[in-house]
Amino acid sequence: MPRLSYAVDVAICLSFIQHARRHRGWYGSLLTLALLTGSGLAQQSPPNLGEASLEELANIQVYSASKHMQSASDAPASVTVITSDEIQKYGYRTLADILQSVRGFYITYDHDYSFVGVRGFGRLGDWNSRILVLIDGHRINGNILGQAFLGSEFPVDVDLIERVEIIRGPSSSLYGAQAFFAVINVITRKPPQLKGVELSFEPASFGTYAGRASYGGQYKGIDMLVSGTFYNSQGQTLFYPQFDSPTTNFGITRNTDYESYQHILATISFRGLTLQGLFSARDRGVPTGYFGTLFNDPRTRNVDDHQYFDLSYRHAIGEKWELAARTSYDQARLQAPLAFATGMPDGSTTVDTYSFRGNWWDSEVKLSRTLLDKHKITLGTEITDNLRQDQGNFTPIGDIFTMEPATSVIWAVYGQDDFAITSKLTLSAGLRYDHYSNFGGTTNPRLGLIYHLFHPTTLKLLYGTAFRAPEPFEVTPGFGPFYDDNLKLKPETIRSLEGVAEQRLGQHVTLSGSVFRNWISNLISLETVPSDGQSVYLNSEKANATGVEVELDGHWADVQGEASYSYTDVTLPVTHRVLANSPPHLAKLNLSVPVVQQRLFASLDAQYTSPVLTLLGNTIGGFSVFNLTLLGHALGKHLDLSTSIYNIFDKKYFDPGRPEDVQDAIQQDGRSFRVKITGRF
């Protein structure tokens, strides 16, 4: 797994963590960590996946499927890998853009956060809590909402991504909660891949500009990387017909769609010891007037920040065992000022601020070895201490601040055996037990049978279960007068059966497909209480999903392309309702061709999404969006210049609104552009 490393004494690293816990000096500590990197010499870069052959891509090594390196064809899962080369050629701006291009995934955007749907499930009212998102193996889902940030709120610049490993299906047998529909592991670039100093600047539509400065290198066996990113956008002037009246500026909102953020990522390592620190802060205006806030008021916004330190160690014990251990400390905050009318005759207004404050410590120890040349054994244990899961709000009228504190502890043990029955047939079997201090225990297995029928043909039969414990916000939402508590909320569970086939067609084309069936019980849904109009999270009913996915992947020298189609039928066997935000058909197309050999590339990224239902039962029409990027390499690839046009045909299309929105459907961005220049020194 491409992790970065530095020789830092363990005691010093832990003192950083203790200092941050006492004084919350995250920013200063990260700057101190950055200063430690100094300057050094770049070493030879590892192979570029963007220049790999089709056979090399078929055998690309992934870590996330089994918590050890293996080829994607041997992994007990349906796997997609997006490389840094693809991110650059297709002009992806965020992790959400990357996932939007992946078969079976779709994105819903409410002009605040990006939410992912997987295989027909894009629940309006959740917070991406049914997928697990990792950065270099470090879990970044929050411990109050369970949220995973995907859009511009994602805490790492996409330019720092070496690859994204997307593991479909339930993976609680290795990862526990939130590994429900998928695990997404973002692997950051190694210092030699940066080759010294790298600077980037990008102007874009809507008064947007961003910049990045990064350094990566090696000095006396010490690998080091430090990078800082800034982003600022004035946003758009938007029109919402739901507010089209003289008292609300005829539905026009200005200066409320603003956004700014800052990221710092620093990683240092030496031999098997790695220390990584991250700082991310974001300030985002919310233009939609959600939760009944004043329309066209820039005071309504979200302020997010997430910081962590992660210390890991890898070491071979004798000739048989390999030890991997890590400990980390996270702090996440969300401050949500909401502007309301007081209802007083003088027309006065007020700002209520809702606050979510999470702190957690996580540690994991993993042992692995190969036994009798046939068994790849992995054993591990993990503990998460949620030191703080506090929700509160401050109301200026009466100067009242209410806080609902909470804590919890989760511990787990797991094991997996990859058993090579024959040279062509492998059985992967895993089991994990998790114990929650507030919910009790749960056990989840996973089985995978992988058969290499011929050299270019692989068949997989996969079965697994997963669970998702209710998030603190779902049980006792600390969000003022909008939600009711539900202390009887139960975890939701999933059972999944999937068949996967991968077939190489000649030297340049691979055809793959899968058929799957998911059974979900105790589905957690946000519902409205008829008696008081409040929202409450309930275990609503069962849901079943049946689907098929087909993908064609081709590489001819510098020409590369992928085309995929997904069909999913989601049924609710009790009420027979049609699930909202569940498109049955998804189609994706990516094509990159050289205009000037090795110098200039033209790349097309296109998606089709079929009609979906809104929360009110209305139908949003299907739509196709086409994005075009021109990428030029100059000065021996020391200078890159790209121009991207998004939604090139200026398609008018909508995503369904969420329960807190006045809008039943929210119009998405029209045509926009971005110019980007990157220099390497």
Could you read off the pLDDT of 32-45 as tens digits, one per residue?
333 333 333 223 33
pLDDT in tens, 60-85: 889 999 998 899 899 999 999 999 99
Give the pair of three-digit tokens for residue 40: 């050094």
The CATH homologous superfamily to which domain 10-680 belongs is TonB-dependent receptor, beta-barrel domain (2.40.170.20)
Residue 15 pLDDT greater than 60, yes or no = no
Res. 318: pLDDT tops 80: no
Residue whose tokens read 């994105």: 107
Q: Which structure tokens are listed for 394? A: 């401050």
Mean pLDDT computed over 219-234: 94
Alpha-carbon gap, residue 354 to 255, rounded angstroms: 22
The model's confidence at residue 18, banded by pLDDT at 50, 70 and 90, is: very low
pLDDT at 34: 34
Q: Is the pLDDT of residue 207 over 80?
A: yes
Report pLDDT for 371: 87
Whole-Å CA distances, 11 to 8, 38, 275, 311, 313: 8, 21, 12, 11, 13
Q: Which residues contact 389 (CB under 8 A, 6 or more apart)?
A: 143, 144, 358, 405, 406, 407, 408, 472
Contact 424, 454 (CB under 8 A): no
Quick one: pLDDT at residue 389?
Answer: 95
pLDDT-derived band of residue 240, with 50, 70 and 90 as boundaries?
very high
**129-154: per-residue pLDDT in tens?**
999 999 999 999 999 999 999 999 99
Cα–Cα dist 416/608, whole Å: 38
Q: Which residue has 């998702």 as its token pair? A: 468
Residue-wise pLDDT for 243-291, tens only, equals: 999 999 999 999 999 999 999 999 999 988 999 999 999 999 999 999 9
pLDDT of 426 > 90? The answer is yes
- pLDDT, mean of residues 490-507: 94
Name 565's Cβ contacts closer than 8 Å, sequence gap at least 6: 103, 549, 550, 551, 585, 586, 587, 588
Q: Are the CB atoms for 577 and 116 separated by under 8 Å?
A: no
pLDDT tier for residue 55 given thresholds of 50, 70 and 90: low
The first and second tokens of residue 578, run together, are 């049609």
Taking only the tens place, the pLDDT of each residue in 388-399 is 999 988 877 766
Output the pLDDT for position 317: 85
% of the chain at pLDDT higher than 90 = 74
Q: Which carries the bigger pLDDT value, residue 343 or residue 162?
A: 162
Comparing 558 with 601, the larger pLDDT belongs to 601
Give the strand pairing for 182-188 and 131-135: parallel
Q: What is the mean pLDDT of the chain?
A: 89
Give the CA distances from residue 524 to residues 126, 129, 409, 494, 527, in Å, rounded to whole numbers and listed in that order: 9, 11, 22, 12, 9
> Which of 79-83, 423-427, 516-520, 540-544 shows the lowest per-residue confidence on average (mean pLDDT)?
540-544
Task: Please count the CA atoms within 13 angstroms of the CA of 571 that sit on its side-chain side.
Answer: 9
For tokens 């297995």, name the residue. Answer: 445
Q: Provide the pLDDT confidence category of residue 28 given band limits of 50, 70 and 90.
A: very low
**pLDDT tens profile 611-645:** 999 999 999 999 999 999 999 998 887 899 999 99
Q: Which amino acid is at 276?
A: Q
Burial track 322-340 (b if 16+ CB lie within 10 A, e otherwise): bebbbbbbbbbbbbbbbbb
User: How much is the average pLDDT of 105-111?
Assistant: 97
Calculate mean pLDDT across residues 592-614. 94
Per residue in 513-532, pLDDT (tens digit) is 999 999 999 999 888 887 77
Q: What percentage of residues in the chain have a pLDDT greater than 70?
A: 91
Torsion angle of the four alpha carbons 651, 652, 653, 657, in this order, in degrees rounded to the nearest 10: 150
pLDDT class of 237 with cuts at 50, 70, 90: very high
Alpha helices in 152-279 (DSSP H): 172-175, 191-194
Q: The tokens 């519902």 sit on which residue?
A: 527
Q: Is the model's pLDDT at 565 over the cut of 70?
A: yes
User: What does the pLDDT read at residue 51?
Assistant: 53
Confidence class for position 195, pLDDT limits 50, 70, 90: confident
Burial of 472 (0-12, 13-18, 19+ CB in 10 A): buried
Residue 5, pLDDT above cutoff 60: no
Q: Which residue has the higher pLDDT, 630 or 320?
A: 630
pTM for the complete prediction? 0.90
The two three-digit tokens of residue 429, written as one number:
């079997």
Q: For 449-496, what is each residue's pLDDT tens digit?
A: 999 987 789 999 999 999 999 999 999 987 767 888 899 999 999 999
